[in-house]
Amino acid sequence: MKVNGFAHPAPSDPRRLLSDHLRHDLGLTGTHVGCEHGVCGCCTVLLDGAPVRSCLMLAVQAEGHDVTTIEGLAPGGSQLHPVQQAFHECHGLQCGFCTPGFVMSVVGLLAQHPHPTEEQVDEGIAGNLCRCTGYASIRRAVTRAAVLLAPLTPDPSPLGGEGANPADRSSSGGEGAGTSP
């Protein structure tokens, strides 16, 4: 199988889950395990570009496929992928444990729906649990990521603006993407 563009042999143990293989054999610990029964989405990776739960797959099932993990989105410390950037700008993460799974789901979602409606956003992230954010900031991040991914389209989103300046302590309920002053 290929993982983030590099070929790797399959694990010797045929019972090895893909999630455990990535984390413990390949050291790609960005893929997290929150439940190991397919509900939380923390372990989401891309298999040939589509999001899958790596805790519900055996590693050997990934033979012959392309696996992309969170580490593969912006390799080697290069500029953050637009989805990662959007999560940063919109405070889409707190503890960060669910985050790799969300980011991978959103990459998949936006590949399918580059301009998602509100319902498509909710549906697209409704396979991932987050216990910290209450999802509001993640929704904003998805909308923002759609904007960042379409640089040629004029920015139609209220989230694309400059954000608040340092002196602005107005209490708008966090509509704007945060910004470094």
Residues 17-36 that bind ligand FES (CB under 6 A): 33-36
DSSP track, 135-156: SHHHHHHHHHHHHHH-TTS---
C-alpha distances (whole Å) from 135 to each of 48, 90, 98, 159, 175 are 27, 11, 11, 16, 13
- State the amino acid at position 111 in one-letter form: A
Nearer to ligand FES, 60 or 150 (CB): 60
Q: What are the E-state strand segments in 14-168?
A: 44-47, 50-53, 66-68
Is 131 among the residues that bind ligand FES (CB under 6 A)?
Answer: yes
Binding mask 112-151 for another protein (x = CB under 8 A): ---------xxx-xxxxxxxxxxxxxxx------------
User: Interface with another protein by CB under 8 A: which range of 57-65, 94-102, 108-116, 144-152?
Assistant: 94-102
Instruction: List the single partner that 68 binds among ligand FES, another protein, none, CB under 5 to 8 Å by kind.
Output: none
Interface with another protein: number of residues (CB under 8 A)? 71
* 112 phi, psi to nearest 5 deg: -85, -40
C-alpha distances (whole Å) from 59 to each of 35, 91, 97, 138, 166 are 18, 33, 22, 29, 48
User: Interface with another protein by CB under 8 A: which range of 46-54, 109-117, 152-160, 166-174?
Assistant: 166-174
- The footprint of ligand FES (CB under 6 A) covers 33-36, 38-43, 53, 55, 93-99, 130-133
